[in-house]
Structure 1
Amino acid sequence: MIERLRISLLPVLVVVAAIIALWYAGAVVMNSTWTLDQAARQGTDPSFAEIVADTMAQERPLLPAPHQVAAELWEVTAEKKITSKRSLIYHGFITLKTTLFGFVTGAVFGVALALGIVHSRTLEQSVMPWAIISQTIPIVALAPMIIVLSNAVGIENREVPKTIIAAYLSFFPVLVSMIKGLRSPDAMQIDLLRTYNASGGQIFSKLRLPASLPYFFASMKVAIAASLVGTIVGELPTGAIQGLGARMLIGSQFGEPMIMWTALFAAAILAALLVIAVGGLERLALRLMGEGAR
């Protein structure tokens, strides 16, 4: 067991080590410009070791070193009260709340539309092309339009447009995967149930729905990550002061790269946790349906 775990983790650790090494190298190269500029003004000629040491400890580096980001991330999470406006846990919870609202809305809409398309050829021909076309619109261009329209109809709650944007990004993966999953049973399987006089509802519950679950949960992992991206993008043009997207924007506006990088890593960690949670729900659902032994 331990040997199997070691073999499975080794490639991951090698890739992580390579990324960290490249990151440190990039930090030295990008941050050395400031170091050399300051040395030229002071009339000094720093050694390579002195350049490296300075690039690893700058207050406002172009590219923070990994240990700087890790230290700052620890400070704004573990060392801050979760009610503090400087705590990334506080901002992460705000982003998480909108992400889940948008994710659930998009998933429900995607599943409902998939059911309609599978059972109606007319709905497929009329709605599916528009669903595909809607995904060609860049979300960066669409987000301000949604915010403007929300304000025009009197919606003052800033969470609503962010939820709409998150749902917009999350519904399409669910829609496409559910259509594929519901249609995955072949004609022979359907004919077999019909020979047992199974109704349309029984065919759906006994065959189509179980067959669609692997497709559904695979799309849910994509959708939850897309919903998080939509929430963060939605926080940028709304002028929000809370949330991970707002922290990224504040860091950019005030020239604080550490704020941007810690918010970025917090968003990545949150996305990973959400995908893991969806994976846990998948295993639970399959176990309840008697597929846990597979």
Structure 2
Amino acid sequence: MAALPHDSSDQTNSSKKQSIDIIGIQEHRWKGSEDFNTKNTQDTTWVLYYSNADARSNGGVGILVHKHLYKFISSVKNHQISAGYAPTKIADDEDKDRFYDQFTKACKTCPKHDIVVFFGDMNAQIGHNSQGIAHKNDRKWSWMHPNGYKRELDHIAVTEKWRGSFTNCRAYSKVELNSDHKIVSCHFQLEFSRQVLEFKKHTTFNWMILPNDNEKRTNFQTKLNSALTENLRCNNDISTDKMNNILISTITKAAEETIGKRNLNPWALEVTLKLIDNCHNLKMKYLKQNESHRNVINANHLVNKSYKQDRE
């Protein structure tokens, strides 16, 4: 904007119609009593956070936030939203260097996992299309020179990690700004990468061998008693949860060293598998050669009977 009027209802009403909740303000030219100020709009539906303009009332940046987001400003810690504007091409090199040094410093001070958003009049053009959704040219340019040519000078920058959460970046002509710039907005929908959960494989030990194998049963009891005695001697005053963990780990280690894992047998035995093949062959003969369907029924009966025996 060329300057932010004290009555900003035109801007806020137009933004509300386009479902815009946060507005970055550049060059508002306001001066407050503090370095960082807060001000409510006249309709009390928006709150303006802004820094002061200089002594000549030039510059100044701020962020307009709709009331339904205002309550989150002091509690949400992992969002960093900043507004600014870059010096023009004809500005002094010292001013340009100072701006980009401040911009770089602000980005580096943000934790790497935070959602960092920076928007403003960057007075610069970028290369390929990065709106997220293809738009016609009228929705791309954000500034028009008095001579009539148009440029994309206003941008919204986000950290690469959260790039997928920001879509449909475009410029609006319907939002009244009283400026030679158009408002640029984007849609934000938080997306998290899918986490692949790693499940720990449960080990099944061959406990059924203990009643029948005296040697392994004796070795297991000896190992278990020795380990439990040592652990209890070293941990006299421990909690119930810790005692439970010690007991589980001790039994597991003793079982690994003496009993071993249980080899799981195939659920269906070889006899059943042969009956299944025979049933399949009879079914194919019935379909192709019109043989008796009674043979297929009898074969299915034998398969089911064999399955039942395998379960037992």
Short-chain TM bin: under 0.3
Structure with more contact order per residue of length (Cα contacts < 8 Å, sep ≥ 6):
1
- In the superposition, the TM-score normalised over structure 2's length comes to 0.19
Q: Which has the higher strand share?
A: 2
- In the superposition, the TM-score normalised over structure 1's length comes to 0.19
Q: Which has the higher helix share?
A: 1
